[in-house]
Structure 1
Amino acid sequence: MNQKITPSTVLLLIIPPFLWAGNAVLGRIVSDLVPPVTLNFLRWAIAFVILLPLGHSVFRRGSGLWADRKRYAVLGLLGIGLYNTLQYMALHTSTPINVTLVGASMPVWMLVIGLLFFGSRISGHQLAGAALSMSGVLVVLSHGQWQQLLALRFVAGDVFMIVATIIWAFYSWLLMHAGNEAEIRRNWATLLLAQISFGAVWSGGLAVGEWALTDARIHWSWGLAAALLYFAIGPAIVAFRCWGAGVRRVGPTVAGFFSNLTPLFAALMSSAFLGETPHAYHAVAFFFIVGGIVLSSRSRAVS
């Protein structure tokens, strides 16, 4: 695999963290207006409608979608049905800064899952970089007080986000292992729509469960409608398109370190829109995370 990072690849991998940071901040803002699982379903249902005119050919008989339906069902479950649902659930009990900082453990899970399940080799620099990034996660989980780690004082949202991050790592690695999908890959819209089709079904089933088991309700407003459009177009369609293209160029391990930019963007947006000024321990966490990116970039694992 050619893992040379070009300016266009850097741009592809910077856009998703920026949009995902906005997703976390806006998700926190609307968390009292719509249940988290339902929010995820509405987001992807809208994305499906938007992409349908561009990628409807994926549903033709003989399309790679049907030959690889099991693969797309798994991709849809992991990347669309579970990851985003857990993230919105996390935002009900945690802040956007914390949620995105916990998500900065992504490089660790990319390395571990790549090694255990996909035969990827790990370099010393990547291990050291991942350790630094994980240290940043531990700083935010402990709120800068290390004794809290001994008491295992985790906010529920932080735990949800850790599970979501592991799921996203599996999703990213699976993107690298193509099936019989050459025709689908020729059009980015068909490739994404193939995943969303199954993902919307998974998230819809989860939403039905949410309404059956809880007192879920939606407080409709024009503001919520605008937020749903952003969720569908930005963090969903645009971010997934850029992330998929970036992962195929440099591999999940290298791409995973770019996800560490998300908490930086989230901190800036939270300060601007939510009045959540970052604390000193957030600055320490940023230091470790950026250090992990710099250190790991000195050597790239070969998948």
Structure 2
Amino acid sequence: MPHMSSPTPSASSGLTPRAALMLVLPPLLWAGNAVVGRAVTDLIPPVTFNLVRWALAALILLPMAWQTLRPSSPLWTHWKRYSILGLLGIGCYNMFQYMALKTSTPVNVTLVASSMPLWMMLIGRLFYDAPITRYKLGGAVLSLAGVLFVLSRGTWNNLLQLQLVIGDLYMVAATIAWSLYSWMLLHTREPATVRARWQAFVLAQVVFGLAWSGVFTGVEWALQPHLHIDWSPKLLGALAYVAIGPAVLAYAFWSRGVQMVGPTVAGFFVNLTPLFAAILSALFLGDMPAWYHAVAFTLIVAGILVSSRQR
């Protein structure tokens, strides 16, 4: 899933081929994140994987936005806010996603994450008094139907017997955390010196996110002392990918694409992630998508299209 940039972008042009390329690349990279996370589940514990990933991303961002960490930076004045953002967007979301991939597939994980409109609507209504229109309600019902279809594996008996894979539930928790994170970004102004550049904005969150991830990693190793890390070329390549691609490049492409076409049009490109995940899983993991994945993906996309309509 993408981080949300604080500045409100304005669309300056239509959906040109260049803009479309900018917006197609992030979902491809995010889908790759799910596939890679699944591929290294036996090489590194999931919570530890999240910590190492963001530590590497911080090293990449530091030369571009080191001023954010100066003692005089407004980041420290707003440390409580960035601490919560780091907890939800970096600590909890990514941790739960990698935990989900231990028992669930990349296709399931990305499809469950596509239920975001439902959680956005519920959290907005409960905590921010956001109105619920009939289009939003109808879209939420369709999205929920798609998620239930994935969780049931297309079998009604599975749903009745609540035969859920624990990874699917972890991904629901991740999606709720991301929804809270997104609403916080939407309703709080950033210091101008931090929001001026996306590198500074991400680094401000990563600093606190690493602290939370370090605590979670300590708990992981304390509860499971038999854990180990296999520092193989496969793991090193995976870490390089998730740090450079989904954590840095995807954000850069996404920010530029949103500036070119606006957030409304750009938002629909996120729904390419499950499709890319299905293709990449078939190519690299042998996890061929089932018929219920296609039905669920159709329902979720239909829900997002309906919920985006205005009166």
- Give the aligned length: 297
The partner residue of 2:97 within 60, 64, 87 is 87
The TM-score, its normalising length taken from structure 2, stands at 0.87
Tell me what 2:293 maps to.
282
Aligned partner of 2:228: which letter?
R
Q: Unmatched 5+ residue regions in structure 1?
A: none
Residues 181-202 of structure 1 deviation map (CA, whole Å, 9 limit, x = unaligned): 1111112111110000010111
The partner residue of 1:298 within 274, 285, 309 is 309
Deviation of the 1:69 alpha carbon: 0.6
Contact 1:107–1:257, Cα closer than 8 Å, also in 2 = no
Compared CA separation, residues 294 and 10, structure 1 to 2 (3 A)? farther
The partner residue of 1:7 within 15, 24, 36 is 15
Tell me what 2:180 maps to.
170
Contact 2:56–2:243, Cα closer than 8 Å, also in 1 = yes
Separation in structure 1 between the aligned mates of residue 68 and residue 168 of structure 2, nearest angstrom? 37
Q: Secondary structure at the match of 1:86?
A: helix
Contact 1:33–1:218, Cα closer than 8 Å, also in 2 = yes
Residues 10-45 of structure 1 deviation map (CA, whole Å, 9 limit, x = unaligned): 766544332221111111111100000000000000
Contact 2:117–2:304, Cα closer than 8 Å, also in 1 = no
Separation in structure 1 between the aligned mates of residue 23 and residue 172 of structure 2, nearest angstrom? 21
Q: Secondary structure at the match of 2:286?
A: coil
Separation in structure 1 between the aligned mates of residue 118 and residue 223 of structure 2, nearest angstrom? 35
Aligned partner of 1:185: which letter?
R
Deviation of the 1:180 alpha carbon: 4.9
Tell me what 1:229 maps to.
240
Compared CA separation, residues 81 and 20, structure 1 to 2 (3 A)? same
Separation in structure 1 between the aligned mates of residue 230 and residue 74 of structure 2, nearest angstrom? 40
Separation in structure 2 between the aligned mates of residue 37 and residue 135 of structure 1, nearest angstrom? 30
Deviation of the 1:148 alpha carbon: 1.7
Of stretches 110-119 and 258-267 in structure 1, the one that deviates more from structure 2 is 258-267
Tell me what 1:128 maps to.
138
Residues 160-186 of structure 1 deviation map (CA, whole Å, 9 limit, x = unaligned): 000110000111111123345111111
Q: Secondary structure at the match of 1:80?
A: helix
Separation in structure 2 between the aligned mates of residue 259 and residue 62 of structure 1, nearest angstrom? 37
Deviation of the 1:59 alpha carbon: 1.4
Pairs within 5 Å for 1:125-204:
125-204=135-214
Contact 2:135–2:309, Cα closer than 8 Å, also in 1 = yes
Separation in structure 2 between the aligned mates of residue 141 and residue 149 of structure 1, nearest angstrom? 7
Of stretches 32-41 and 289-298 in structure 1, the one that deviates more from structure 2 is 289-298
Separation in structure 2 between the aligned mates of residue 260 and residue 161 of structure 1, nearest angstrom? 16
Q: Unmatched 5+ residue regions in structure 2?
A: 1-7
Of stretches 19-28 and 7-16 in structure 1, the one that deviates more from structure 2 is 7-16
Q: Secondary structure at the match of 2:75?
A: helix
Aligned partner of 1:155: which letter?
V
Pairs within 5 Å for 1:206-217:
206-214=216-224, 215-217=226-228
Compared CA separation, residues 120 and 12, structure 1 to 2 (3 A)? farther
The TM-score, its normalising length taken from structure 1, stands at 0.89
The answer to whether the aligner puts 1:272 opposite 2:280 as a matched pair is no
Separation in structure 2 between the aligned mates of residue 114 and residue 10 of structure 1, nearest angstrom? 29
Of stretches 256-265 and 198-207 in structure 1, the one that deviates more from structure 2 is 256-265
Compared CA separation, residues 3 and 109, structure 1 to 2 (3 A)? farther
Separation in structure 2 between the aligned mates of residue 119 and residue 169 of structure 1, nearest angstrom? 15
Separation in structure 1 between the aligned mates of residue 275 and residue 247 of structure 2, nearest angstrom? 20
Deviation of the 1:6 alpha carbon: 5.2
Residues 111-139 of structure 1 deviation map (CA, whole Å, 9 limit, x = unaligned): 11122212322332222122212211111
* Alpha-carbon RMSD: 2.5
Tell me what 2:4 maps to.
none
Contact 1:110–1:256, Cα closer than 8 Å, also in 2 = no
Separation in structure 2 between the aligned mates of residue 280 and residue 213 of structure 1, nearest angstrom? 38
Compared CA separation, residues 199 and 224, structure 1 to 2 (3 A)? same
Of stretches 286-295 and 129-138 in structure 1, the one that deviates more from structure 2 is 286-295
Compared CA separation, residues 2 and 121, structure 1 to 2 (3 A)? farther
